[in-house]
Each structure stands twice: as structure tokens, then as C-alpha cells.
Amino acid sequence: MQPIDAIQVTKGMKTICIASAKGGSGKSTLATALAVRAGQEGRVALLDLDPGTASMTMWLQARGRPDELHLDTGDGLISARVKALAASGRFDFLLIDTPPMDVELIQAAIEAADAVIIPVRCGLFDLAASVVAAEMCREHKRPHAFLLSHVDGRHPILVEQMIKPLSGMGPIFKTRVKYRKAWITALNLGRSAAEFDRESRAEVNGLWDEVATLLRKGRLDE
């Protein structure tokens, strides 16, 4: 695992955005898991751009609204909110969870991020939808990578079929997030799957290390 100083090349808060125009790709689940993981390295703020029912805000309530995960409830432009959080000097990491479909909001979140994770499930429609966020990242020159999520361990062929077309659209995290019960039950409990499931913990740690590389180098290792 990489220590915090490896990530903090520049002084100040690092903003990690989880974005995809495709609904149900795993954005909010990953945002909660990474929030917990980030909390092991520094002070964390959360920006929930989809504070409806199935959201990070709801998960925080189930977790008992812990002080160490600060939920930003401000309003106004995303860029201004991110700047204000950074300027406060109170946070090392900001996690942004985005809604599906709302292209303007996704774009604003991507623009404000230091690194963008684009979760993708295996399937043609998922592949097609994931290009939207990737193009935004390229347009705004934001370091980004695709994350294969909900991977069915029984059918590795499905991942293999995704790799070629997806790699033509952008970099892919080596870490894969498997479809696992722990990821679902964790949400009900206001927890991260990594807090009680060893395999999920390995995935979150692997992803965190790769995100750290993305933040530090602006790209993934070969």
C-alpha cells in the first residue's frame, strides 16, 4: 500500500470523482468504500451530487453520520464548492459521487476532479454508455480510468470480451470489483465491504493504490 505522502505531491486536497452516465454501474457503492479507505490516510469530505434515496447520504445516515466523514451540504457551483472545501484546509481527500444521466453535473464534477474513476459493468450497453464520461475526462484533461465492476467470477470470458473495446476508449484499472454479497450488505449496515470481507478489502486496497498512482503521475502504471 502506498503511504499518503506518495499521493500528496502537491499540497492540498485531492479530489476523486466516481462518474458514469450509466445508472447502476456501482458509483455510490464505490464512493462509500473509497471514503472509508481514504479515511485511513487523511481527513475526508464527501460531495453527494445525487442525494436522492439510493445515495452516499443515505449510507452516511446508516453509518451514524460519523464526524470523520464530512458531508458537504452547501449549494452553488460544483467548482466553487470544491474550491471552498480545499481552501478550508480541513480535508486531504474529497470524494464526489455523481448521478447518472445528468450530463452537465457529471461534466462539472469531472472538471473539478484530480482523478476520475469510471465504473463499468460487463455488457455492450455499459460499454457504450461509459464512453460519455471518458470523453469528458479527455476534454478536460482529467486523469481517469475505467473500473470493471460487478464482475461475475464464474464467467471470465465476459471480462475478456470487454478489455479490447474498453482499452480502445481509455486506460483500465488492473483492479476488478467482483459481484459479491458483501458489497450489497455493507450498504445496509452503513459500512464498507472492505471492513468485514477479506476479498473486498483486497479490491479496495488495490483500487486505492491505483488511484494514488493516477493522482501522483496523472496516469496508471503500465
Ligand X SMILES: Nc1ncnc2c1ncn2[C@@H]1O[C@H](COP(=O)(O)OP(=O)(O)OP(=O)(O)O)[C@@H](O)[C@H]1O
Is 111 among the residues that bind ligand X (CB under 6 A)?
A: no
Which of 8, 15, 27, 36 touches ligand X (CB under 6 A)? 27
Q: Which residues ranging from 94 to 153 are in contact with Mg ion (CB under 5 A)?
A: none
SS3 call for 53: coil
Q: Are 129 and 21 in contact (CB under 8 A)?
A: yes
Which CB sits closer to ligand X, 21 or 94?
Answer: 21
Torsion 188-31-43-214 (CA) sign: positive
Is 191 among the residues that bind ligand X (CB under 6 A)?
A: no
Is 47 among the residues that bind ligand X (CB under 6 A)?
A: no
CA distance 55 to 137: 23
Judged by CB under 6 A, how many residues of this single chain contact ligand X?
Answer: 18
Which CB sits closer to ligand X, 23 or 66?
Answer: 23
Cα torsion through 92, 25, 197, 49, rounded to 10: 30
Distance of CA 9 to the CA centre of its chain: 20
Per CB under 6 A, the segment of 59-67, 88-96, 154-162, 181-189 that binds ligand X is 181-189
Amino acid letter for position 201: R
First to last CA, the chain: 18
Contacts of 43 (CB under 8 A, 6+ apart): 68, 70, 90, 91, 92, 93
Q: At closest approach, how far in Å is the CB of 47 from Mg ion?
A: 13
Is 37 among the residues that bind ligand X (CB under 6 A)?
A: no
Picked from Mg ion, ligand X, none, the partner binding residue 180 (CB below 5 to 8 A depending on kind) is ligand X
Contacts of 88 (CB under 8 A, 6+ apart): none
Picked from ligand X, Mg ion, none, the partner binding residue 44 (CB below 5 to 8 A depending on kind) is none
Per CB under 6 A, the segment of 23-31, 62-70, 131-139, 204-212 that binds ligand X is 23-31
Which of 23, 153, 156, 165 touches ligand X (CB under 6 A)? 23
Per CB under 6 A, the segment of 34-42, 138-146, 163-171, 183-191 that binds ligand X is 183-191
Instruction: Of 163, 174, 156, give the one whose Cα is nearest residue 211.
Output: 174
Picked from ligand X, Mg ion, none, the partner binding residue 29 (CB below 5 to 8 A depending on kind) is ligand X
SS3 call for 44: strand
CA distance 121 to 24: 9
Q: Which residues ranging from 27 to 56 are in contact with Mg ion (CB under 5 A)?
A: 27-28
Q: Which helix (H) or strand (E) holds 185?
A: helix 181-188
- Give the residues lining the site for ligand X (CB under 6 A): 23-29, 50, 54, 100, 149-150, 177, 179-180, 183-184, 187
- Chain residues in the site for Mg ion (CB under 5 A): 27-28
